[in-house]
Amino acid sequence: MSSVPKIAASSDVKTKVIQNDDPLIYFHGRWDSTPGTWWAGSGLKLHVNNLKTLALNLGSHTTTPAAAIGVSLNYNEFITFNVSEGQNDIPLSQLGDLSFDSETSRPQTSVVRLNVEGWQNNRIDLRNITINSDANLLPYKPWRLAFQFIGDSLSAGQFLPKGVDQAWPFLVGEQFKAEHVIVAQPGATLTDIVSFGNEHGISFQFFRTEDTGYFYTTDHNFTTPWNFARDVPAATHVVIHIGANDASQGVSDNEFVQVYTTFLQRLRSIYHHQPIFVFTPWGWPNADGSISQYYPGLHQQIVQMRHDIGDEQVFLVNTTGWVTWDDVFPDNVHPNVPGHQKIANLFGQWLEQWGLEPEQKWATAV
């Protein structure tokens, strides 16, 4: 992502300024009060009439020298740009055609979706947004279907050219035309221990605004509680794939089961009735075709323990055989781009068989 050139600034067109507290900006993911992004995939959406130009004006807490963002216009492909402190013009012409009425040639509405791609170096500090002076910001309507994904590097898009935008959770959200938030961090355990540069595990950090890289951020080396009321809409489905780093750190079977069951109990205090999908590990593929497994049978046990106390809305997703040697980068054994697409397709099929149908169209039409 570092090879993407920084967006140039321009002032050729008369513009109007949208302040960062404008209620018509739809924020998704985890933003702090500045507002600034944390966690891969956090971003915003804009619904605009007569959009011709767009610029992000970013403050000093933006990653230096640049943060990679993915931008999509009218639900087209996400394109990567690098942005940094100051004014960053978004070249809309590179994102597809703006919407015009075919009979009158009058401008219609456009939807811009924007998110940070990286699992690190992913902070944008939004000061304001500028659009052409004859454009108008409209309400963005989020769809009722909303995924909350929880995980580690296998969900955060580590090693992918476009980061989280090519990761299986992001792709599943797009396939179902759903809102989706991804709280995942490479190297992090579920257990609240130091692991591969992460000061805390996901069982702690999920309930905080900041991701597990906060510890090294000199302007913000602290955490604040996340207000789940800010997730609008609230997640309708929760998906968890975690445990690889716990195994690498030597967390015992008994401790992992205890931590996971306690984590599910805490999730139930937020998501009272929503289905929770627990992925089994797909393991680490080897060149000879074998798969190195970790915590075999434990995720099945964890789900059964929820059933035993009457929680039938926790479901096991058996991922055995989903990822093979051809689906991973040989040097780090993480899913490659086709591998993530394969996982997304398989989970999408699993969800449809379970009974969840993709939406037929996006809630905010263009």
Statement: residue 106 has pLDDT above 80: no
Encode pLDDT of 60-82 as tens digits. Answer: 999 999 999 999 999 999 999 99
Domain hosting residue 340, numbered range:
146-354
pLDDT of 4: 55
For residue 361, being part of any structural domain is answered with no
- Structural domain count of the chain: 2
Predicted confidence at residue 212, as pLDDT, reads 86
Element (H, E) at 321: none
Band of the pLDDT at 152, cuts 50, 70, 90?
very high
Q: Would you say residue 5 has pLDDT above 80?
A: no
Beta pairing partners, 45: 26, 113
294 within some domain: yes
Statement to judge: residues 177 and 125 lie in one domain: no
Q: Percent of the chain beyond pLDDT 70?
A: 94
Domain-embedded: residue 47: yes
- Whether 94 is covered by a domain: the verdict is yes
The CA-based angle 99-363-47, given to 5 degrees, is 45
What CATH number has the domain bearing residue 237?
3.40.50.1110
In eight-state DSSP terms, residue 114 is E
Which residue shows structure tokens 């890289």?
A: 213
The whole model's pTM is what?
A: 0.94
- 198 forms beta bridges with 195
Contact 354, 366 (CB under 8 A): no
pLDDT tens digits for 188-239? Answer: 999 999 999 999 999 999 999 999 889 888 889 999 999 999 999 999 999 9
pLDDT value of residue 39: 98
> What is the spatial distance between Cα 318 and Cα 282, in angstroms, rounded to a whole number?
8
Q: Dihedrals φ, ψ of 195, to 5°?
A: -155, 120
Q: Judge if 111 and 26 occupy the same domain.
A: yes
Angle between helices 253-268 and 298-308 (to 10 degrees): 40
Same domain for 208 and 325, yes or no, is yes
pLDDT above 90: percentage of residues in the chain: 89
pLDDT of residue 6: 53
> Based on the domain organization, do 255 and 213 belong to the same domain?
yes
Instruction: Tell me whether residue 347 is in a domain.
Output: yes
Last residue of a domain, one of 76, 109, 138: 138
CATH number at residue 71: 2.60.120.260
The SS3 call for residue 290 is coil
